[in-house]
Amino acid sequence: IQFIPDLNTGYELTDNYLKIATSTTYSELIEILSKGIDNLKHINRKTTISDISILEALDYMARRTAGRIVRNAATIGGNTMLVLKHIPTGTGEPFPSDLFTALFAVETKITYLLLDKNGSFKEHTKTAEALVEAIIKDPKLADEIVLTSYTIPLKDANDVALAQKVALREVNAHSIVNSTINFSINDELIVKSAVLVFGGIAPYPWRAATTEKAMKDKKLTLADAEKLTKILAKEVLEELD
């Protein structure tokens, strides 16, 4: 697919977003993210720290996926399709992609072509979350789309993203569970919004909505850690039940 021009459009990094082609390999993505992080560190503007945290969350997940030989060949689009194609019941074991969990959490927009009834492709763009919801609603959609690009928004100054994973080995191992959090926090450490996304809980990236709600408009403090952990544990168990 790297020889198809529409799927191999390179990348674009601006003050507001990073756009990458669906045929970008993991190794290429790591190089792009590394350049982006380095460039942002040398730009004297307020949003630098936030932007770097988003790119570093993606970089963390990309570097801990498979081994170098696989990363040299595997594409971002192919990895996403493994997730999407394993969402419907009866399609095999769910695929808990580390990178897709992070893309989902940082509100990445995915552009894709949809084959219509006339045999023509029409371009659509949805967030990763909205695309997952659409496939949950209509499982056949996963067989009718061709992903073309990803647009990763770069956020406000106090937005922070953090990626984590648990596996049997640090690299070259499927996650038992992975997560990416995406907080928007003001200067007084009040949580304006919280996105807590986990892979390995459901057949798709799963949001801890109850815990997110409990954090919103509250000051971020270690004193609340025990209470929030209990809320999170309860809703995870309810999802797994």
Condensed to tens digits (0 to 9), the pLDDT of residues 82-91 reads 999 999 888 8
What pLDDT, on a 0 to 100 scale, did the predictor assign at position 116? 82
Q: pTM for the complete prediction?
A: 0.92
Eight-class DSSP state of 11 = E
Q: Which two tokens stand for residue 95?
A: 């695929």
What pLDDT, on a 0 to 100 scale, did the predictor assign at position 44? 47
pLDDT, mean over the chain: 90
Instruction: Decide: 152 and 36 in contact? Cβ < 8 Å.
Output: no
Nearest to 176 by CA among 184, 164, 187, 168: 168
What pLDDT, on a 0 to 100 scale, did the predictor assign at position 81? 96
